Amino acid sequence: MQTSRTAQFLLYHKQSDQLLDVVTEVEPQHLGGGSSANVWTLQSQSGLDWVVKRERLVSSVYYKRILFFNESKFFREVYGKHSAFYFRSADDGSEPSQVVMRRLPGKELSNNETELTTPEDFVNAILAVLYSIKNLHKKGVVHGDIKGDNINLHRQPDGRFAAYPIDFGFSQFVGQFTIGGYADYMPTELKQRIPADFWQDSYMLCDLMNRFVDHYIFKKNYHHLKPLGEFICDNFFSMRFMTGELQYSVDGMIQLWTDYALHHNLTIAVVEEPINALSAEMEQEAARYLKSSFFEQSLERIKRACQWLSQYLSADELKEVTDFIEMARTLTDLQVAILKLLTLSSELSEQPSLKCPRMSFFKEKHAKSVLDRLLEMLPRELLPINLEFLAKPPIAPGVDSCLSF
């Protein structure tokens, strides 16, 4: 399914306000959707993989705005501060809320039916999901909407399974009040707003395992997996509340499945902290691109500054500094190039043509030196901390060098 919609998003690094990426929706691929939103692929300048989640304009704009803001907030909390960007809807509802976020590996657990055919696959898939939610809980986050469509399952090249929760619209930090909303796979207590707690996710994990059995084993007639189905039925269909908590915590479920695997001589191959590993990888990718982008932008600014300064330089001086700039490959090279430009500017003698032709009374107040103008053009992040070694520079030309009426 494709759409003719075209949109472009500018993504900025929060701390430096540097452009992180430009992503465009050109002939996007529809990845999925639900009652409130659709997800589409995006093309990026950086090569990073992004998707956009766009709300359906069919219900309360205010309610959807809350969910989309929450989605962006907790996606960043879980996968890194530059993994998601929220674009607010128009107040009149004419433009939808949108979240641009990194595309996670794998595909929805609900769509893995052709890949999971052995007891080992099933056990590792379930363990991967449990370890993923355990990793999420270590961050103090309650997902609040665990189901097969909201977890990506990925088999890595080394054969290990990793799971990644998605769709954080109903997520909260533990202890904060839940967002109103209820579905049949949720505990009935969530029909009202109550403090978010990990047992709520545990309840939904048990429901997920029960549906796992019903869909993948019984309906698919995987008779060789019948013992696994009976194990799930015996242990998870009978789950009940006990003093406000489920019988098994996530750790308890992990232990139960681990014991099952060992008892049946199944090899366990899962990533135990998939969220931490993926978020670190994505932050490193963003940092590498930012560094590369910063280098290119800084190089262009230095070239423009050199071109402006060329009016005061001899041919030999200009060739020396230009050749060095052209060979620059690292930020250290750029810093050396800047130092060369600053040193040359400090050695310039005062030019007769730089004197203000009229209103000389205001000259000292309004004139700018060659160094001042050069400093305005150069990337300030690469400037040397101490400029006292430079001699007092002469006055540079320009519209600010004297008053005009």
How far does the chain reach from its first CA to its final CA, in angstroms? 63
The token pair at 283 is 């932050």
Instruction: Output 13-19 pairs: Cβ under 8 A, ≥24 positions apart.
Output: 13/82, 13/286, 13/290, 14/81, 14/82, 16/290, 18/290, 18/293, 18/294, 19/293
E strand or H helix at 245: strand 245-246
> How far apart are alpha carbons 334 and 337 in whole angstroms?
5
Q: Are residues 56 and 36 in contact, defined by beta-carbon separation less than 8 angstroms?
A: yes
Instruction: Output 236-245 pairs: Cβ under 8 A, ≥24 positions apart.
Output: 236/206, 236/209, 236/210, 237/210, 239/203, 239/206, 244/199, 245/199, 245/202
Classify 47 in phi/psi space as left (phi over 0), alpha (psi -120 to 50) or beta.
Answer: left
From residue 30, alpha-carbon distances to 52, 67, 227, 310 in Å are 10, 21, 37, 53
Q: Are residues 47 and 69 in contact, defined by beta-carbon separation less than 8 angstroms?
A: no
> How far apart are alpha carbons 298 and 335 in whole angstroms?
10
Task: Determine if residue 73 is labeled as part of a ligand binding site.
Answer: no
Burial (Cβ within 10 Å: 0-12, 13-18, ≥19) of residue 353: exposed
Known binding-site residues equal 53
Known binding-site residues for ATP equal 53
